[in-house]
Structure 1
Amino acid sequence: MSLKHLILAVVGARPSTGYEITKEFDEVAGFYWRATHQQVYRELATLAEAGLVRFKEVAQQGKPDKKVYTITAKGRRAFADWFREPPEAPRHADPLMIKFFAAELVGIEDLRAQLALAREHHAALLATYEAIAAQHYAEPVDTMPRWKKMIYLTLRLGITRERAWLSWADESERVLRA
C-alpha cells in the first residue's frame, strides 16, 4: 500500500482539502498509516500532475485560497486496478527484534529496559485505540453503516495487534527474568 492509494481512497469517498486528508489520517487511518502534512501535499501534487485527482480552488476570507481535491475517472480506474491486486504480506522492520537477536553483546538488563520502553509505547497505542473505539464505535457492529464497519474492522486489527504485542512482551519479560 502506498500513500497514493490511501489519498485516492479518501478523495474517492468525498472531495477533500490536503488538511482534511491529513486530519482523516490522524483520526481514522492513524492506527495503520502515518503521513505528515508535507508528504500528503507532495503526493497530492504528484497525483494531480498524473491526472488521478483534480482540484478546485476555493476562496477563503482572510486566508489563502484552499484546494479541494476530487478523484478523476482515471484515478478511479487506477485505484480499482490496485485494489484488485492481491496484497503482499506486510513485513515489519522492528529494531527491538535486532536488539533481541544481539542482546548477548550488550546484556539482558539493557534489553529488558528496551523492552519496558517499547511496552509503554504499545500500551499507550492500545489505550488510544480503545478510546477511539469507545468514542466512535460504541454501537453494535451490525447496526453500523458499511463504511463505518470497514473502518471499525481496521481499528479492531490495531487493537488485536497491540494486545498480542503486549502479551508477547509479558512472555518475553518472564523468559528474560528466568
Structure 2
Amino acid sequence: MTSTLGFAILAVLARGERTGYDIATAMRRPIAFFWTARHSQIHAELQKLLAAGFVGYEARQGPGPQGKKVYHVTAEGSLALREWVTEPPRERPERDELVLKTYASWVAGPAEIRQMFADQLAAHEARLAEYEREGELIGKPPGFGDPRFGNYAALRCGIGYERHRAEWCRWMIDQLSESLNPSWEAAKPSEP
C-alpha cells in the first residue's frame, strides 16, 4: 500500500520526469497549498515507490562530479495513481493546534491570547494575499484534463481556507478585545 506522500510524488511525476530535488521543489508550489514534505521524506518514499515498481529512473550526468537520477512514473504507477484518485479520502484525525489552544485559552490572559491571534491573523492574511496574487496570474481555470486544472482547484481551496481562518482570527480578536474592557472583568463569569 502506497502512502499519501507516495501518491503526491506520483502526481508530480505524472506531469513529467524529475530529479528528487525537482520533486521537492515542485511540492512547494502548488502542492504546498495542501501537502508538504521534507526532502528526506521524499527520498525515502521514492525508494518505496521504486521497490513497488511505481517509478523508475534514468541515471544522467549531473552538474558536478556526481550523477543524478531522473525519475518517471511507470505504467503501474499511473494505474495506481488513477485508482487512488477516485477512492474516497481516508478519514483523518482532526488536529488543529490553534483550535486546541483556543479551547484552553481561558487559563491565560486575554491580552496574550489576543496577541497570538493577531500574529495568526497576519500570517493568514499574508498567505491569502500570496494565493490571490497567484490566482490573478493564472486567470480563469484551465479546462478539466489539463494538469493546471488541479493547480487552480487546489489554489481555490487554499484561498477559501485562508479567508475562513482570517475571519475567525478577527472574530477572536474582537471577543478578546471586549474581554480587555474593564466593565467585562466585573461581570466575568466564574470559570468552569
Shorter-chain-normalised TM-score: which range? Answer: 0.7 to 0.9
* Most deviating of 144-153 and 48-57: 144-153
Say which one has the larger Rg: 2
Please give the secondary structure, in 2, of the residue aligned with 1:67: strand
2:149 maps to amino acid: K
Measure the CA separation in 2 of the matches of 1:108 and 1:45: 49
1:102-141 equivalent positions in 2, closer than 5 A: 102-135=104-137, 137-138=138-139, 140-141=140-141
- CA distance in structure 2 between the aligned counterparts of 1:25 and 1:62, rounded to whole angstroms: 24
1:93 alignment counterpart: 95
Letter in 2 for 1:161: Y
Q: Which moved more, 1:73-82 or 1:17-26?
A: 73-82
Map of 1:149 onto structure 2? 149
Q: Identity over aligned residues, as a percent?
A: 31
CA contact (8 A) 1:15 1:70 kept: yes
Q: Is the 8 A contact 2:30 2:154 kept in 1?
A: no
Match of 2:190 in 1: none
Structure with bigger helix share is 1
1:32-85 residue CA offsets vs partner (Å, 9 max, x unmatched): 111111111111111112221111101135341111111122222322232221
Find the aligned partners of 1:146 and 1:62 in 2 and give their Cα distance: 35
Contact between 1:103 and 1:111, CA under 8 Å: does it hold in 2? yes
Contact 1:99/1:111, CA 8 A, preserved across alignment: no
Structure 2: runs of 5 or more not aligned: 179-192
1:25 CA displacement: 0.9
User: 2:15·2:147 contact (CA, 8 Å) conserved in 1?
Assistant: no
State the alpha-carbon separation in 1 of the partners of residues 142 and 81 from structure 2.
Answer: 28
User: CA separation in 2, counterparts of 1:143 and 1:86?
Assistant: 23
Where do residues 68-83 of structure 1 align in structure 2 (5 Å cutoff)?
A: 68-83=70-85
Distance 1:28 1:49, change over 3 A: same
Q: Is the 8 A contact 1:96 1:114 kept in 2?
A: no
- Measure the CA separation in 1 of the matches of 2:63 and 2:88: 46
Q: Distance in 1 between matches of 2:95 and 2:176?
A: 22
After superposition, the Cα gap between the structure-2 partners of 1:59 and 1:125, relative to the gap in structure 1 and judged at 3 Å, is: same
TM-score of the superposed pair, with normalisation by structure 2: 0.82
What is the TM-score with the length of structure 1 in the denominator? 0.88
Distance 1:115 1:80, change over 3 A: same
Residues 95/88 of structure 1: CA separation in 2 closer, same or farther (3 Å cut): same
Conserved 8 A contact 1:17-1:69: yes
Q: Which residue of 2 aligns with 1:47?
A: 49
CA distance in 1, matches of 2:142, 2:26: 24
Aligned residues: 176
- C-alpha displacement at 1:120, in angstroms? 1.7
Consecutive unaligned residues in structure 1, runs of 5 or more: none
Q: Decide whether aligned partners of structure 1 residues 144 and 3 sit closer, same or farther in structure 2, where only a CA change above 3 A counts.
A: closer
Cα distance in 1 for partners of 2:27, 2:51 equals 22
